[in-house]
Chains A and B, each alone.
Chain A
Amino acid sequence: MITGTPKPIGEILEMVEPYDKIIVAGCHGCVTVCRVGGEKEVQVLASTIRLAREAGGRKIEIKEVSLERQCDPEYVELMRPYVEDYQAVLSIACGAGIQFLAEKFTVTPLLPGINTGFLGVTERQGEWAERCQGCGDCVLHLTGGICPVTRCAKSLFHGPCGGSVQGVCEVDKDIKCGWQLIIDRLKALDQMDNYGKLKPYKGWSSARDGGPRRILREDMI
């Protein structure tokens, strides 16, 4: 899923400061699963803003909305009938959702209520961790199902570097050395042969470096 973290409330209050009538828009997708932008978070955030504004002596009207997905036009269009009645939309979906609203509702300012994080997994209740950078050229079959681009702090293709100590990355004691994980897994799979080969330079054009990406499926259009 796409993960995120809430922006500090002070920053949000500053963003909404110019407005007296806004929409707080959540999303039922990834941000609901990682508990940062779903229906419940919309309620909590809207209440917090209302209380803060009331305390400051300047009330704000807030409409609370949660779309099925902010990244799909069919759901985004459901906001069209009323969106122009409001001065701004504070979205707590991921960056893609926020931008999609901005694209669709061209005269309404869009405000980000969360900082979008990464493509990751729920390691346990309340803890998410990155797994994929969406580089567009997957090599997981060669690396024991563990991504060197994402899991190695240096994205090395022939790790680990000299800073790997007892399975821990030198960058942070809470980061596992991705290459230690890869080697452990290759050994378990009896695929250490994969380690001993020089890999070609990675093509980054399929990643963000090639410019904004697009997938076109002729069979679906």
Chain B
Amino acid sequence: MKSESNLKRVLDAGHISVTAECGPPRGADPEIVRKKAAFVAGNVDACNVTDNQTAVVRMSSLAGCMLIKELGIDPLIQMVVRDRNRIALQSDLLGASALGVRNLLCLSGDHQKFGDDPQAKNVFDIDSMQLIHMAKTMRDEGVFPSGDKLDGALQFYIGCAVNPFADPYEIRVPRLKLKVEAGADFVQTQCIYNMEKFKTYIEDAKKEGLLDKVKILAGVTPLKSAGMAKFMRRMVAGMDIPDEVVKRIGDEPKEKQAAKGIEMCIEQIQELKEMEGIAGIHVMAIEWEEKLEEIIGGAGLLPRPVIE
């Protein structure tokens, strides 16, 4: 597989990788992206740029990728199948690869109901599983799904997302297996709070022989407050935050909850990075990018390795 992905190099060298994400702004001001990226630079091996997450209109992921790439960050383009048919997907894959984006995350995308245009028509021409397959075919075989040859194959390190906490549980590992068979090189998980359930998931993935076939990047999101934990638990489908986690941050006085959230996140990363089968950590510090260095450094994952 041809890819100049920094993330891939770090993982291939056996290091625990670190990724983070930058949500592009609701506007055309590039400075907002640059400001966020400044908090990310130097602290990660690659940075996800989200694609109209929660179906709220934002600057395009590809544009965001190019802005952070200018600052020396290895961009990771997120691509959802909600808004593009297979023609647009193929075209954007070509464009992103041509512009030097080397990491790709294939997603379904949140339903448009959750965004600011709930009346929009959705696409879902192919699903995220098939997008993985499409990207792999266009990379490894150098052909379009139609069979025609590409003038220059894609060069992505291909990823997918999983939510080990959604229902039904019994399908979660088989679904990861399908994604790996479709061509996923790495997987980023939904934010983990329920460590016991996550350990069960990893054990089940091991039984299926998946730990050697895909790099698992464990997702974490630092909690800013007990209120945030309760809100996420109530509003985000498939978000599993155990009572003891909410209690632990809730027992702190309000002004100390944010610091406690960071402390808990660091502890969690330290535990995750020692777990068998965990190849990296994906830190989703939502609108809290300025804390990335503290969290990643606190977990002993700085400086990031430089691999030629």
Interchain nearest-CB distance for B189 vs A (Å): 10
- Check A154–B168 contact: CB distance below 8 A: no
| A198-B174 in contact (CB<8A) | no
Q: Which residue of B lies closest to A157 (CB)?
A: B127
Known contacts A162-B166, A163-B238: A198-B133 contact under CB 8 Å: yes
* Contact assessment for A196 and B174 in the assembled complex, using a CB-CB cutoff below 8 Å: yes
- In this complex, how many residues of chain A approach chain B with their Cβ under 8 Å: the count is 29
Tell which of B111, B127, B167, B170 touches A153, judged by Cβ atoms closer than 8 Å.
B111
A107 close to B (CB within 8 Å): no
B residues in contact with A164, CB < 8 Å: 166-168, 237-238
B161 and A183 contacting across the interface, CB-CB below 8 Å? no
Residues of chain B within 8 A (CB-CB) of A196 are 174, 177-178
Q: Are A157 and B125 in contact (CB under 8 A)?
A: no
Point out the residues of chain B lying under 8 angstroms from A204, CB to CB: 125
CB atoms of A157 and B129 under 8 A apart: yes
**Which of chain B's residues have a CB closer than 8 A to the CB of A167?**
167-168
B209-232 vs A, Cβ < 8 Å mask (1 yes, 0 no): 000000000000000000000000
Please name all residues of chain A whose beta carbon is closer than 8 Å to the beta carbon of B177 when the two chains form the complex.
196
For B82, list chain A residues within 8 Å (CB).
Answer: 154
B175 interface contact, C-beta 8 A? yes
Docked Cα-Cα span, A166 to B190, in Å, equals 17
Contact of A161 with B by CB under 8 A: yes
Interface residues of B in 153-173 (CB under 8 A from A): 161-163, 166-168, 170-171
Q: Which residue of chain B is the closest to A170 with respect to CB atoms?
A: B237
Give how many B residues have a beta carbon under 8 Å from the other chain's beta carbons: 36
Q: Is B124 an interface residue (CB 8 A)?
A: yes
**A165 touching B166 in the complex, CB below 8 Å, given contacts A196-B177, A198-B181:** yes
Bound Cα distance from A155 to B111, whole angstroms: 11
Q: Given A196-B178, A198-B133 in contact, is the A163-B127 Cβ separation under 8 Å?
A: no
B145 at the interface (CB under 8 A from A): yes
0/1 per residue, A190-206, Cβ < 8 Å to B?
Answer: 00000110110110100
| Chain A residues with CB below 8 A from B145, complex form | 201
**Which residues does chain A contribute within 8 Å of B124, judged by CB atoms?**
154-156
Residue on A with the closest CB to B111? A171
On A, residues with C-beta under 8 Å from B are: 153-167, 170-172, 177, 179-180, 183, 195-196, 198-199, 201-202, 204
Chain B interface residues (CB < 8 Å from chain A): 82, 86, 108-111, 113-114, 122, 124-130, 133-134, 145, 161-163, 166-168, 170-171, 174-175, 177-178, 181-182, 190, 237-238
